[in-house]
Chain A
Amino acid sequence: MVGWMKLTKGLIAGLLLTLLLTGCGANWGWYVVSPSTESGRSNLKFLIDGLGYTIALSICAIVISIVIGLLIALPGLAKGRAPRTMNRVYVECFRAIPILVLLLWVYYGLPVVLDIGITAFWAGVVALAISDSAFEAEIFRGGIQSISKGQIEAADSLGLSYYDKMRYVILPQAIRRILPPLGNQLVYMLKMSSLVSVIGLSELTRRANELVVTEYRPLEIYTILVLEYLILILIVSVGVRWLEKKMRADEQ
């Protein structure tokens, strides 16, 4: 953990240093986001303000996708053919649709089908959540299946209901194995939230694009964008690692 933190810090420091040094060269124009000028400050603020949407979008999508993912994973573990087929159809269909395509369909197509209005934000949440839930369903199914059959039999012979068996015996053990791949998925989802910029949600990527059009300084502005995602995702990674450690701690 300590070594990993050091590595992260080193990585960020190295990146910043490179930027600063090269920034002194003639081809860079950091003035566009320089905190020392009025316009630089306002540009910087404009870029960073996109964080609100990116974070809100990701959190909504993650929470919903975890719930759907679990609801889809459980029938996949049932004995009957019908629930398993339902699980397969859902996973195979939504896993096959590119997120960008699903997003466009939800934003432009769904309102026509259902005769409703949908904002760019909610279209983004729905598309990301559905797409992600298909992957998460597989992660959950794998995690649950990795719990030994003996645990299920012990719970059954104690007469626990299906809900109690899942809630108190299987899921608490499965979650430890699910966390690493789930962390991966969260990072992936956070990155994919940048796609929602194409339907006009004013999140990080959209704002960078807009600023590039007016300032014509893509190198500096997209570098800031890279740093924004990098920092955001490192925070998520640290969070997931902390959770993993905490879960191991209460096992022993």
Chain B
Amino acid sequence: MGNNGREPIIKIAGMGKSFGDFEALKNIHLTVHNGERVVVCGPSGSGKSTMIRCINRLEAHDAGTITVDNIELNQNTKNINAIRREVAMVFQQFNLFPHLTVVENLTLGPVRARKMNPADAEVLARKYLERVHIPEQAEKYPAQLSGGQQQRVAIARSLCMEPRIMLFDEPTSALDPEMISEVLDVMAELAEDGMTMVCVTHEMSFARKVADTMVFMDAGEIVETASPEQFFSAPESERTQMFLNQILQY
């Protein structure tokens, strides 16, 4: 699948997760290579978000193993923190800190978690604001920005941690239609720069353009893993075909 012999950076093997009696994830196997762009899709409630939230331990898995950059994810807080330093997350609801300005949102992580000095962190913050095309909004509060701008700030905030992997949890689902493309553009640029990405999204044209690997999930299982060419033209599984028919109908 176009890994060009790149080394695996995320290895998920036999992973499961239950909420009480409900089995949200069953026997998940997924390997993501350095620089690979993985797009995860599937009907709502299929466990897509839960799966990527397990990768940086926002949810704790209760079966199988997850290894990120050769560090095993378990209860060990040291390991969790080490993995969180490499893995950044962009949320559906942005989750910007409303009481801090844009630039303060961006420098908090580097200064507090990476012990960077504040002046350097600000230089870094402005560099990444430039990269998401909103350097002029640095002094504003999140509530003063549009949804698309807020999500780009959230992406910049993640980038300031200089992660090796970025997880996107339906980053455009809370946006008004006219703002979706400004966020997808930024994500596509990141992909071009070689960022390792795991992205849960329903934006199939984005997936077609950017993904190296498509993952289809249903009812807590990975049903199909394929290259985008194969995935969109000749999906193997019936469930994948049904899903694609439904979302590509219009």
Q: Which residues of A contact B (CB under 8 A)?
A: 148, 150-151, 153-154, 156-161, 164, 168-169, 172-173, 250-252
Contact of A169 with B97 in the complex, beta carbons under 8 Å: yes
**A158 (CB) vs chain B CBs: closest residue:** B109
Which residue of A154, A160, A173 contacts B112 across the interface (Cβ within 8 Å)? Answer: A160
Contact of A157 with B113 in the complex, beta carbons under 8 Å: no
Which residue of B87, B96, B109, B157 contacts A160 across the interface (Cβ within 8 Å)? Answer: B109
The answer to whether A157 and B89 touch (CB under 8 A), given A172-B99, A251-B141, is yes
Contact of A159 with B99 in the complex, beta carbons under 8 Å: no
Q: How many residues of B contact A (CB 8 A)?
A: 27
Which residues of the other chain, B, contact A156 by a CB distance below 8 angstroms? Answer: 57-58, 84
Contact of A159 with B84 in the complex, beta carbons under 8 Å: yes
Contact of B99 with A173 in the complex, beta carbons under 8 Å: yes
**A247 (CB) vs chain B CBs: closest residue:** B99
Q: Could you tell me the distance in whole angstroms from the C-beta of B154 to the nearest C-beta in chain A? A: 8
Which residues of the other chain, B, contact A154 by a CB distance below 8 angstroms? Answer: 89, 91, 95-97
Taking the complex as formed, is B93 at the interface, i.e. its CB lies under 8 A from any CB of chain A? Answer: yes
What's the Cα separation between A150 and B98 when bound, in Å?
A: 12
The answer to whether A151 and B113 touch (CB under 8 A), given A157-B84, A158-B157, A159-B81, is no
Contact of B85 with A159 in the complex, beta carbons under 8 Å: yes
Contact of A153 with B81 in the complex, beta carbons under 8 Å: no
The answer to whether A157 and B88 touch (CB under 8 A), given A168-B108, A252-B141, is yes
The answer to whether A173 and B161 touch (CB under 8 A), given A160-B113, A164-B113, A168-B108, is no
Q: Could you tell me the distance in whole angstroms from the C-beta of B51 to the nearest C-beta in chain A? A: 15
Contact of B98 with A251 in the complex, beta carbons under 8 Å: yes
Task: List 20 contacting pairs A-B, 8 Å CB cutoff, sorted by A.
Answer: A148-B95, A150-B95, A153-B89, A153-B91, A154-B91, A154-B97, A157-B56, A157-B87, A158-B108, A158-B112, A158-B161, A159-B85, A159-B161, A160-B112, A160-B113, A161-B112, A169-B108, A251-B98, A251-B99, A252-B144
Taking the complex as formed, is B123 at the interface, i.e. its CB lies under 8 A from any CB of chain A? Answer: no
**B167 (CB) vs chain A CBs: closest residue:** A157
Q: Could you tell me the distance in whole angstroms from the C-beta of A128 to the nearest C-beta in chain B? A: 31
Taking the complex as formed, is B143 at the interface, i.e. its CB lies under 8 A from any CB of chain A? Answer: yes
**A153 (CB) vs chain B CBs: closest residue:** B58
Instruction: Pick the most buried of A150, A153, A157, A252: most chain B CB atoms within 10 A of its CB.
Output: A157
What's the Cα separation between A168 and B108 when bound, in Å?
A: 8
Contact of B108 with A160 in the complex, beta carbons under 8 Å: yes
Which residues of the other chain, A, contact B95 by a CB distance below 8 angstroms? Answer: 148, 150-151, 153-154
What's the Cα separation between A48 and B35 when bound, in Å?
A: 75
Contacts A173-B97, A252-B141 aside, 8 further interface pairs with beta carbons under 8 A come to: A150-B93, A154-B96, A157-B56, A157-B87, A158-B157, A164-B112, A169-B97, A172-B99
